[in-house]
Every structure is written in structure tokens, then in C-alpha cells.
Structure 1
């Protein structure tokens, strides 16, 4: 498992290769990856990018805990998260999640679980920029609902 926070951009292919190289290949029939990017809009209209801040040490620890939870819950054979911080322009890559499991549904469910829980349990804060003005972004109700579904639902799908 690996969890990183970085200002630098990442290569999806390099992360996939790392995930598979350190995977229990004989036990994995599925690899799922997700890449999140900066949108050029919000509910009010166009934006010029975002800025992400984090709490060094605490953020990486929270990411590792999230991976451990997903590994236990979905029987993963490997998983990884890379989350960028700093000022990012529109269309820039923000986050990458990769999961390996014996079966595809477990890999898909784990990737969804990680993304839903990441937004609620990992100390990363977002500002949106429009021109010279920035606005801190509050947690969305839909993000809270997505996380709560995993906490209250007995089903993993």
C-alpha cells in the first residue's frame, strides 16, 4: 500500500505500474483506478482553478488509515492513493486511487469507498479561485451522504 501527498503532478501509468508491481498478483483478478481532475466551474459559474492545503503528517496518516480500512473491508491485495496539494489549474489531476482485489466488484467498491470517505475523513482543505478572488469550499451535503451510505449500509455495493 502507498499513500502520498505531493505538489508535483503524477503519471497515471507509473502509479498503475507501482500498484501492480507490489501486488499479490496470483490473488488479484481486478485492478481499478480513478483519477480526479479540477473542473472549470462550480455552482456559481466559472472558476480559474483550486488551491488545496493539508496538515503534513496527519494527512498522510489519515490516507494510510483509509487504505487499511478499505483493504480489510474489501479484501484488497493492494491499494494506493496520491493526492496533490497547492494551486492547481483547471483540468489538472488532483487525486489518484488504485485498488487490486480478487474480484472486480470488490476493487470497484473499494475505489468508491476510498473516494467517498477521503472527502470526509482526510484533512485536506480546498479553495476555489476566480480571478483574484478565492473562496474556501465547505463540505457538500452530497459528499456527507455518500460517506454515510458506507457507514450505515450493510451492503458493500
Structure 2
């Protein structure tokens, strides 16, 4: 593998970041996938399962399995929508909210470690460039769907 290939660098970056987060969140009793959902719900409490699936980039069956376990662990509750009974909203419980805040702290600490020694200007430039790359890949994905 070439350390100059974008696809390899993306894989490596995700893997290292994810490994650091999973190692710390597992100490909180969380299984892979749960931290991502808790963090998403911290900002989008009351969303639907489909919104969680899209926001966390997880397939529907994985989200279904994770949410079922999280209900049993008293991390979330599922509440039928009053306007449309076919829709179920997902809310953090008090326990889930506490864990979600802990996950956010852990993710923030991993981010800080990753940015260590990199100037604010370089960070901003990197983020802008990376957002452009993601947009290019999104367009490529759209072309493949045609």
C-alpha cells in the first residue's frame, strides 16, 4: 500500500480513530456502534431509526439490532409519534444521556490528540479540502447509482 493513496489514508485514518474511540468506550460498557448512536442522539434526540441509520452511516439491520440492545440496557426509549403511529421516535434515557456525554468527551479527546501539533490555519485548510473530497466522492456515488 502506498501512503500517498487517498483511499488508503482514509482507511488508515478511520481505523486508527475508531480503534482509539472503541478502546475507551468499551471501558464504559459500550459495544461498537453504540457510541456512534449515542453521540448522534445527543444532537438529534427524538429522531427516527432511518435518520439514525443515515446519520451514523449504518445499515438498517445493524441499527435495528443496536437499538434493541440499547432499549434493554435502558440507554434509549422508543416512543410512537403522536401524529403518525407508523413512525417511532428514539430518545435518550437519563442513563443514555450520561453515556452520550461521556462518548462526546472521549471523541473530543481523540480529536484533540489527532490535531496535536497542527496549526489552526492548517486545520481549517484540511477540513475545507476534506469536505471538497467528500463532495467529489458523493458525486461519484450519485453517478454510480445512475
Q: TM-score, normalised by structure 2?
A: 0.27
Q: Which protein has the larger Cα radius of gyration, Structure 1 or Structure 2?
A: 2
Q: Highest relative contact order (Cα 8 Å, sep 6+), 1 or 2?
A: 1
Q: Which has the higher strand share?
A: 1
